Structure 1
Amino acid sequence: MSRALPKFSDLPLNKGDPPHSAWGVYGSDDELGTINRLTDDVVMRAKEEIQRGVRISLNLPLNAQRGSMLVGRSKFHMDQYNKAPRIVNDDVWTFNSQTSTQWDGLRHYAYQKEAKFYNGVTLDDIFGENRTLVNGIQAWEEKGIVGRGVLLDFDRWRRANNVEYRPLVGNRDAITLDHLKAVARSQGTEIKFGDILIIRTGFTVAYNKLTDDEITQMMSVPVNGGQASGVEQSDAMLEWLWDSFSAVASDNPTFERWPSTTANLNHEILLSGWGMPIGEWFNLENLADHCEKVGRWSFFVASEVCNVPGAVARYICSRSITKT
């Protein structure tokens, strides 16, 4: 699979396609994107990571956000009720699919200038008179996101090396490619083709230390109108991601630094250019502590989700099983 991929320098593949896009590399009607890299052979090799069978959840609670909500999304709400006269209870949940741990799907963020999603899908394809379910999350649901995960614990590394980084929303610090490669070297972590990259920025720890009033103040300017720290935008970073990974994720709400310092956002290129899932708000504290304890930062990841045809994003039900 990796040998058949075009080089990053060859992107876009077709004249007139958006910058760095790989439309058609898996077929003109493909809806899996880089999940195609998780072949049976890649997944079978990933199971070698399971030695102790330790299971660690990557999910935050659905009500993890407190105070004002990020980017204006609705809070999680639950109604519970007794179905009297029987001793039977039911409940109803109402929530935005991106208010907690989730994967951005291929309907989420288009190339803004071209107004096109992965493989050229348009808003009319999604909302028009002849709308379809194209690029909905149901395409990923059939087999899930399953494979070898690698945790790059940037927060632990940068504290040990006195690297300044402010993880909370309202800052605009960058995690560079040099940073991530240094983290991998310090951990002794080998990157393999098809890996699921998970980056711990320290956002969750910093967020959980805030009071409700501090959270409200921080969220008073939403991310899409303000700024956030995260992975840098650069051709070097994009080439590294393209060459290696099937999906990327982090513990912060944007994955990348926001807004971009280049012509394009990583969201545009990863989601709409390559069909690469972007995970956000992952719960990485227990995983990071366990990896540090056993001295291994690679593991088996199984991510299963709600099957909602045509949906934009999805709350995950993930577990990682570490190899020690």
Structure 2
Amino acid sequence: MTALPKYSELPRLDDVGSHHAWDVFGPGDELGTLNLLDAEAVRHATGLVRTGERVGISLPLDQPDPPLFRREPFQHTVKRIGSMWDDRLDSFFPQCSTQWDGFRHHRVRQHGFYGGVLDDPAPGNPRLSIHHWARAGILGRGVLLDVAAHLPGVDPLSEHSITPDDLRAVASAQGTEIRPGDILCLRTGWLAAYRALEPEGKAAIAAEKAGLSSAGLAADESTAELLWDWHIAAVSADNPAVEVTPGDAAVGSLHRRLLGLLGIPLGELFDFDELATRLAAESRSEFLFVSVPLAVPGGLGSPGNAVAVL
């Protein structure tokens, strides 16, 4: 991990205006920066466990309600088979709740997906499928940056860019060191603010045709540069897109920069509220992060299925 190149040293796609890491982890790579979660990183992360208490950091699959981004609510039915009962889910969007975006989720224009893969996604297509992440899971040192606690003037339900300087300032205020291989967890306060809304307010957010507004990471290249140079394994947040929404087309997409160009997984709508309270009470910001995506061959994303172990 110490030998990884800096962002400025990576090859650059001038027409996109960003660097890429397609050759860093070798040809045919399926994991991107999840490669940093090797056995040594996991062994170290398990040493962070003090009490063994677990905090769920995934939302129920029927939340948010109504679903965001024009997704449909799934239909849950049960069926009796003799003395047993089975579940069935129809119209189920793996991205409807707490979820990981896979590398097929966002294309880099004519250059393709992560690694320069050009073919379109298809059911069962194993290349860049989410099932590769499920084989070993996403386990490592989770680090929570509580942006909401340290930038209290920000309305998380409005379009506001959290800059690299903001992230550095929060880390400094918490006394938190970001280390290679960390799973960076950002609490913007969006989920707490959303929960406080009446049903009418939640419905209005889901129906927003111009794109819902939320505070999130600035989408420009400086954010991509910081996250790569920190050499994190993944980034997750409590908001709907990790990056600011609806965003500015002239600035570009952080999804494209992180997923498509750098191979950094994005986790959205993670529930960090209780975790933030527990960590603050113990004056700590690190914990064992455990998440196992669904092993769906050809999958573009997956529910988070995540817990924090304290």
TM-score band, normalised by the shorter chain? over 0.9
The answer to whether the 8 A contact 2:131-2:293 is kept is: no
2:150: which partner in 1? 157
Answering whether residue 199 of structure 2 is matched by residue 212 of structure 1, we say yes
Change (3 A) 1:125 1:215: closer
The answer to whether the 8 A contact 2:220-2:252 is kept is: no
- Return 179-188 or 98-107, whichever deviates more: 179-188
CA displacement, residues 178-229 of structure 1 (integer Å, 9 cap, x when unaligned): 2221211221111111100000011111111112211122222246x45432
Q: CA deviation at 1:261?
A: 6.0
2:274: which partner in 1? 286
Give the unaligned 5+ runs of structure 2.
Answer: none
Task: Identify which of 132, 135, 140 aligns with 1:142.
Answer: 135
Matches of 1:157 and 1:318, distance apart in 2 = 25
Q: CA deviation at 1:36?
A: 0.8
The answer to whether the 8 A contact 2:32-2:263 is kept is: yes
The answer to whether the 8 A contact 1:13-1:23 is kept is: no
Query: How does 1:50-129 map onto structure 2 within 5 Å?
Result: 50-67=49-66, 69-83=67-81, 86-94=82-90, 95-111=92-108, 113-114=109-110, 116-122=112-118, 124-127=119-122
The answer to whether the 8 A contact 1:233-1:262 is kept is: no
Report the RMSD for the aligned CA atoms in angstroms: 2.1
Query: How does 1:155-304 map onto structure 2 within 5 Å?
Result: 155-159=148-152, 164-168=153-157, 171-222=158-209, 225=211, 227-244=213-230, 245-258=232-245, 259-260=247-248, 262-304=250-292
Query: Which amino acid letter does the alignment assign opposite residue 145 of structure 1?
Result: I
The answer to whether the 8 A contact 1:248-1:278 is kept is: yes
Matches of 1:295 and 1:77, distance apart in 2 = 42
Task: Identify which of 311, 318, 321 aligns with 2:299.
Answer: 311
CA displacement, residues 240-288 of structure 1 (integer Å, 9 cap, x when unaligned): 2002201000000110012246543110011011211100010111111
Change (3 A) 1:61 1:222: farther
CA displacement, residues 70-122 of structure 1 (integer Å, 9 cap, x when unaligned): 11111132112334xx44322212310111011100110111x3251000112
1:30: which partner in 2? 29
Matches of 1:226 and 1:285, distance apart in 2 = 21
The answer to whether the 8 A contact 1:199-1:251 is kept is: yes
CA displacement, residues 14-56 of structure 1 (integer Å, 9 cap, x when unaligned): 8888721111111121111001111222222222211211111
Give the unaligned 5+ runs of structure 1.
Answer: none
Secondary structure, aligned partner of 1:253:
coil
Give the count of matched residue pairs: 307
Query: Which amino acid letter does the alignment assign opposite residue 201 of structure 2?
Result: E
Secondary structure, aligned partner of 2:139:
strand
Query: Percent of counterpart pairs with the same letter?
Result: 36
The answer to whether the 8 A contact 2:70-2:207 is kept is: no
- Return 21-30 or 6-15, whichever deviates more: 6-15
Task: Identify which of 123, 126, 131 aligns with 1:133.
Answer: 126
Matches of 1:243 and 1:197, distance apart in 2 = 13
2:5: which partner in 1? 6
Secondary structure, aligned partner of 1:72:
coil
Query: Which amino acid letter does the alignment assign opposite residue 264 of structure 2?
Result: M
Secondary structure, aligned partner of 1:70:
coil
The answer to whether the 8 A contact 2:220-2:253 is kept is: no
Change (3 A) 1:133 1:125: farther
Matches of 1:198 and 1:222, distance apart in 2 = 28
- Return 255-264 or 131-140, whichever deviates more: 255-264
